[in-house]
Chain A
Amino acid sequence: MAEEKAELLKGTLDMLVLKVVALGPIHGYAIAQRIQQISRDFFQLQQGSLYPALHRLEDRGWLRAQWKATETGREAKFYALTPKGRKQLAAEVRGWEQMIDAVALILRTAE
């Protein structure tokens, strides 16, 4: 079961991260928390693999980063969505939904 989850995750991690960040500037730990929370513990990702993804998204210009102080006063790196990132998120969501429809179609008619 864990392996299946891992397979799905590689292709969709970017999309999930973008979606989470879309809700507002957020640092890496909080993103990991959020994903786990919202998916009701379905996604328990190897937390370390989040950061290369974040850096990649930042490199591509879809995320913007800024070092700010948290509520506790410590400095942390906050990521926010750029306009380009917003467009990318919309495109990926569209693609995802198309794929879901197609799979559902096949499953239904193949019966």
Chain B
Amino acid sequence: MRWYERFFRREFTEKRLDAELRFHLEQRIADLVAGGMTAKEAWRQARIEFGGLEHVKEECRDVGGSHIIETVIQDLRYGLRQLRRNPGFTTVAVLTLALGIGTNTTIFSAVSAILLRKPPVKEPDRLCAVSSKNLIKGCDLEPVSPLDFESWREQNNVFEAVAADAGASFTLTGDGEPESVAGDRVTPGYFKILGVLPTLGRAFLPGEATAGNDRVVILSNPLWRERFNSDPNVIGKNLEINGEPYTVVGVMPPVASSFSWLAFPRLWTPLAFEPKDLAPSSRDNRYVGLVFGRLKPGVTTKQAQAEMGSIASRLAQAYPKADKGWGITVQTLQEYEIRSAYVTNGLMLLMTVVGLVLLIACANIAGLLLARGAGRAHELAVRAAVGASRVRLLRQMLVESLLISALGGAAGLLMSVWGIDLLRAGFNFNDYGRQQAAGFRMDPATLLFTLMVSLLAAFVFGLVPALRASKANPGDALGETGRTGSSGFPCSRLRSALVTCEIALALVLLAGAGIVIREVIREFTEPNGFNPNHVVVAQIDLKGKPYQKPAAQIALFQQVTGKVRGIAGVESAGADTCVPTGCNSSTPFSIQGEPPVPETKRPSADYFVVGPGYFRTMQIPLIKGREFSDSDDTRAPVVAVVNQEFARRFFPKSDAIGRQFEVDRGQNKKAEIVGIVGNVNDYIGQLTPRPQIYESYLQMAQATMALVVRSRLAPSALAPMLRRAVWSVDKGQPVGRIQTMQDLAADNMGGDKMMVALMAIFAGLALVLAAVGIYGVVAYSVNQRTREIGIRMALGAQKKQVLGLVLRQGNLLTGIGCAIGIVLTLPLPRLFAGMFNGFADHGPLVLIIVPFLVGTVSLLATYIPARRATKVDPMVALRHE
């Protein structure tokens, strides 16, 4: 009988087989009766001669060879029946796995969005981002100067086209409130190289990259919708930018992805290099943020890197003043996007964490399966005795594991849909995070990942129990021991080992989470050198012709600060180019009276240009000397204030006050130190102070500064008053974002907070799972040993002794698990310190608290079944079969 006969025409074929064999029997009986036997004797004789009817039928059925599909379907049906018959087990297993898989899928959606997704440009693998590399500092995502850009363009043979992209902020005036927006200035070939063109109008023409012809603008889709009401006839209309009319020539399509180069800018204008940018002395004026190059056909990124590297050396030789110590980095656009996000380490950490959570979940399920396997020994032995091969049994067990895995995977997928939404909400802490998170969704890559993880999990938790179960010795199992179910030592040893591993893993996860949490809390609570409470920051960006003279810039800021100070409720106000913990700006300098040092070896310090009253506003302590005053203006000698670290490092034995130095900022003015202030952090959680230099804007005019205002007024009340103060001086001057210092910190630290939350959740999950695991093992063991416990109690053991017996087993497991876990966590602090900025290699406090926590939880999980053990009634236990 062929397998398809068995499958498709089963009833019919069975009937035929039965008929054939019965015919034989009936004929034999007839002959025997004819020979003189009674019907009864004949029947008996015929049956004896024939052999077992069912056995013969089975052999006939086996003849056609069984097809694998048929047996797999059989296994599936059997497996489903098993799962249905044990709803408790099935629920626990599926839920556990769903948690493990769901968390993995959720995090993977972020990984997929940030690390795997290709930029939405034409042929993304052929598009490269080219940036300058500061060989001394090792930073390789540095901007390039216009002259260098031209050199790169002329000298290279690897790119078929290059374009430059310089970010800038623009002031939009005209109808409505003045607004400050971020935009990109780009060379004409830019859109063509990206392969993303405007949907309305056109891209820039080559002629528009010259000064005078460059008053054209391409709008982003959101800007078009907001400022022009999606007017389809917007082409040709004017937009007032930086005080001048620009003609709209194109509108870009909406950008759905998280690709920052297209999603961030609100508008584009042509990048026209002015003559002063192209003067030979400006070769080191690096302000063009990025260069894009499309590789020629057949050229690889490696080749391009090699070629640009040699161009860099040539430039360094030809123009040592500007280009010595500078290289060129070529990478694909995708790599650049990923690296400039600085999230790779964090994401990898999260993936590892949820991977470990899944492992713990699998260990739990494996333990459950092992326990169940022991209970099914009888059934499996019967099957083996009737003729099932070991391979067949193994396959059966694996199919059951796959079923659990499929259910768990489906449930996990559902869970992760909700989880991804939560994750996206968690990324809401700043613009960049929001934009990245927009790409988190259930995409094909994530679905595929879920499938693979489910399959893998099935093997991880299913293989060993399956091997163990299929090895069942029919003799043992069919006998006494099989019926009572205690298949003894080897099985429970394996389960114990599993639980020990779970505890160790949970410990590692908790320790890791603990370190992360501790560090972030420290970052938030340690003082940063100033008082960020009740301080509001407003960005002011002076643009346009009237503000091209330094005197006008100085005047505006002086007037505005004066007006703001006059607002009732404002305690103090000042201005600063670079708000602490909000930005980072440094400069090399040289000290007068010391032997001259070559440019590349000069020390550098953080550089701030502030106004009088700044230190008082920020409550940065003045240690020695004096602050800036209104009389330190352009007619007076240039003065500077430095911080304690600067004084300590560069004037350790003498007084810094009175000494002079010169900052390498092109103005070539010697400044005299008149005051020393306390150290201020550049970023939250900074561990070692850096030298810092302050100069006064009354002497070094600035076009862009932040207004800092200390006031007890609510920010929502203060903000409009600030705006009015600015507009009372210049009604066309937009005021950028007004934020509290706390908001600013949140912008920068929001990512850390979310990381902490996630780590805490996952570590907690791990602990819960491990606790469930150990509970399961101990409870099961108690169950198995009920008879033994009954005997002990009948022989006189006290409840306390029984309790001790059970607890001892649990504690042993916990102890070993914790020991292993502690050993594994020892390298963690150093590992984290290397991976994340600002993580100190602090003390062992975490390594003491966490094992304690894990131990306590385990003990609790052990205690509950232990107590139940003491409640065993010896009479019931002894009868327990």
Contacts and interface: CB of A to CB of B under 8 A. Distances in A.
Interface of A: 27-29, 32, 46-49, 51-52, 55-56, 59, 67, 74-77
Given A46-B49, A48-B53, A59-B2, A27 B63 contact: no
Contacts of B2: 59
Given A48-B53, A49-B51, A75-B19, A28 B60 contact: no
A51 B2 CA distance: 15
A47 B50 contact: yes
Contacts of A46: 49-51
Contact of A52 (B16, B56, B65): B56
Contact of A47 (B1, B23, B28, B64): B28
B23 A55 contact: no
9 contacts: A46-B50, A49-B56, A51-B59, A51-B60, A52-B59, A52-B60, A59-B65, A75-B23, A77-B19
A39 to B, nearest CB: 16
Contacts, number: 56
B51 A28 contact: no
Contacts of A27: 23
Interface of B: 1-2, 16, 19-21, 23-24, 27-28, 49-53, 55-56, 59-60, 62-65
B51 A48 contact: yes
B562 to A, nearest CB: 105
A75 B49 CA distance: 23
Given A29-B27, A47-B49, A59-B63, A76 B20 contact: yes
Nearest to B60: A55
Contacts of A32: 24
Given A46-B50, A75-B23, A76-B23, 15 more contacts: A29-B23, A29-B28, A46-B49, A47-B24, A47-B49, A48-B52, A48-B56, A49-B51, A49-B56, A52-B56, A52-B60, A52-B62, A55-B63, A59-B2, A77-B19
A86 B28 CA distance: 29
Nearest 8 Cβ contacts at the A-B interface: A48-B51, A52-B59, A48-B56, A55-B63, A29-B27, A29-B24, A48-B50, A55-B60
A29 B28 CA distance: 8
Contacts of B49: 46-47
Nearest to B63: A55
Given A48-B51, A48-B55, A56 B23 contact: no
A77 B63 contact: no
Nearest to A30: B27
A75 B50 CA distance: 20
Nearest to B1: A55
A56 B50 contact: no
Contact of B20 (A47, A49, A59, A77): A77
Contacts of A59: 1-2, 63-65
Given A47-B28, A55-B1, A59-B64, A28 B55 contact: no
A1 B63 CA distance: 30
B405 to A, nearest CB: 37
A52 B62 CA distance: 9
A48 B51 CA distance: 5
A32 B46 CA distance: 13
A33 to B, nearest CB: 8
A7 to B, nearest CB: 18
* Interface hub of B20, B21, B64, B65 (most chain A Cβ within 10 A): B20
Contacts of A75: 19, 23
Nearest to A58: B63
Contacts of B23: 27-29, 74-77
Nearest to B49: A47
A59 B62 CA distance: 11
A32 B27 CA distance: 11
Nearest to A60: B63
A26 B733 CA distance: 110
Nearest to A50: B24
Nearest to A56: B63
A35 to B, nearest CB: 13
A84 B51 CA distance: 31
Contacts of A67: 16
A52 B63 contact: yes
A74 B22 CA distance: 12
A76 B53 CA distance: 18
B25 to A, nearest CB: 9
A42 B16 CA distance: 31
A27 B27 CA distance: 11
* Interface hub of A47, A74, A76 (most chain B Cβ within 10 A): A47
Contacts of A74: 23
B56 A51 contact: yes
A77 B60 CA distance: 14
Nearest to B20: A77
A110 B55 CA distance: 44
Contacts of B20: 28, 51, 76-77
A38 B273 CA distance: 113
A56 B2 CA distance: 10
B18 to A, nearest CB: 11
A49 B53 CA distance: 10
A23 B743 CA distance: 101
A76 to B, nearest CB: 5
Contacts of A47: 24, 28, 49-51
Contacts of B51: 46-49
Contacts of A49: 51, 56
A77 B50 contact: no
Nearest to B58: A52
B338 to A, nearest CB: 61
A75 B15 CA distance: 13
Nearest to B57: A51
A76 B22 CA distance: 10
Contacts of B19: 75, 77
A75 B28 CA distance: 16
Contacts of B28: 29, 47
Contacts of B63: 52, 55-56, 59
B765 to A, nearest CB: 56
A27 B1 CA distance: 17
A46 B59 CA distance: 14
A59 B49 CA distance: 25
Contacts of B50: 46-48
* Interface hub of B23, B24, B28, B56 (most chain A Cβ within 10 A): B24
B26 to A, nearest CB: 8
A34 to B, nearest CB: 13
B131 to A, nearest CB: 73
Nearest to A52: B59
Nearest to B27: A29
Nearest to B64: A59
* Interface hub of B1, B2, B49, B53 (most chain A Cβ within 10 A): B49
A32 B64 CA distance: 22
Given A51-B21, A51-B60, A55-B60, A77 B52 contact: no
A87 B19 CA distance: 30
* Interface hub of A27, A52, A59 (most chain B Cβ within 10 A): A52
Nearest to B31: A33
B16 A77 contact: yes
A22 to B, nearest CB: 21
Nearest to A44: B49
A68 B193 CA distance: 82
B494 to A, nearest CB: 41
